[in-house]
Amino acid sequence: MGQVRAEPTRRAMLVAAGAGSLALAGCKGITALGARPKMHADVIALDHAITAEELMIARYRLALAALPAAQHHAGGTGKPKAGGPDRAVVAALLAEHKEHLVQLRARLILPPRLATASPQPSPTPAAAPAARHQILAELAAAEAAASDRLVGWLPEVPPALAQLMASIAAAEAAHVVHLGYGRLAP
């Protein structure tokens, strides 16, 4: 239930199809290009969701690396802080994104040959901004956008995967609050 069979594959196939076509084009010209294998919409949606989580994890890692320094600059005391609440929250949310990625990847069935192939390089976000409030604001904006995108892909996927993606979208929407946006006054 809820698994998406990549026939013949996911991203690897997209890449292979592109590379193969280019190789053929080099030998025999553009007319030799074959039709690209058709990807199912659910495979594409799941692939996008996995890529989005990988990107989010990369963002959070950059933010974590930047936060202590940012707090040092913001404090202006000259003493570097070891972490603080922002860092703890960001670390907790990063852990959740890693869980999201594990669950999304588990829904994708790859043919054996491709499952053992080298993984594609993960996407890399732009460098994290320097100021603490800017770091958190950019994470919050990325969370809101990721949540919206996930909901947009829901019509393409089987029911059980739709439930997982809707739950992740809900988690990401809540992350915006955990990052300090829209929280109730104490």
Name the minimum Å distance from CB 75 to other proteins.
25
Residue closer to other proteins by CB (options 61, 149) is 149
Handedness of CA 59, 159, 14, 114 (dihedral sign): positive
> Among the candidate windows 26-34, 77-85, 135-143, 151-159, which touches other proteins by CB under 8 A?
151-159
> Which residue from 45, 37, 39 is spatially nearest to 2, judged by alpha carbons?
45
Residue 101 in the binding site for other proteins (CB under 8 A)? no
Residue 103 in the binding site for other proteins (CB under 8 A)? yes
Q: Which of 93, 110, 135, 140 binds other proteins (CB under 8 A)?
A: 93
Handedness of CA 106, 111, 116, 122 (dihedral sign): negative
> Which residue from 93, 11, 84 is spatially nearest to 59, judged by alpha carbons?
93
Residue 94 in the binding site for other proteins (CB under 8 A)? no
Residue closer to other proteins by CB (options 19, 92) is 92
CA 83 to chain centre: 25
CA 63 to chain centre: 15
CA distance 10 to 98: 20
Name the minimum Å distance from CB 171 to other proteins.
6
Residue closer to other proteins by CB (options 63, 165) is 165
CA distance 117 to 137: 37
Let me know: does 137 contact 119? Beta carbons within 8 Å. no
Residue 35 in the binding site for other proteins (CB under 8 A)? no
Residue 127 in the binding site for other proteins (CB under 8 A)? no
Q: Which of 57, 67, 106, 129 binds other proteins (CB under 8 A)?
A: 106
CA distance 52 to 57: 9
Binding site for other proteins (CB under 8 A): 1-2, 40, 42, 92-93, 95-96, 99-100, 102-103, 106-107, 147, 151, 154-155, 158-160, 162-171, 173-178, 182-185
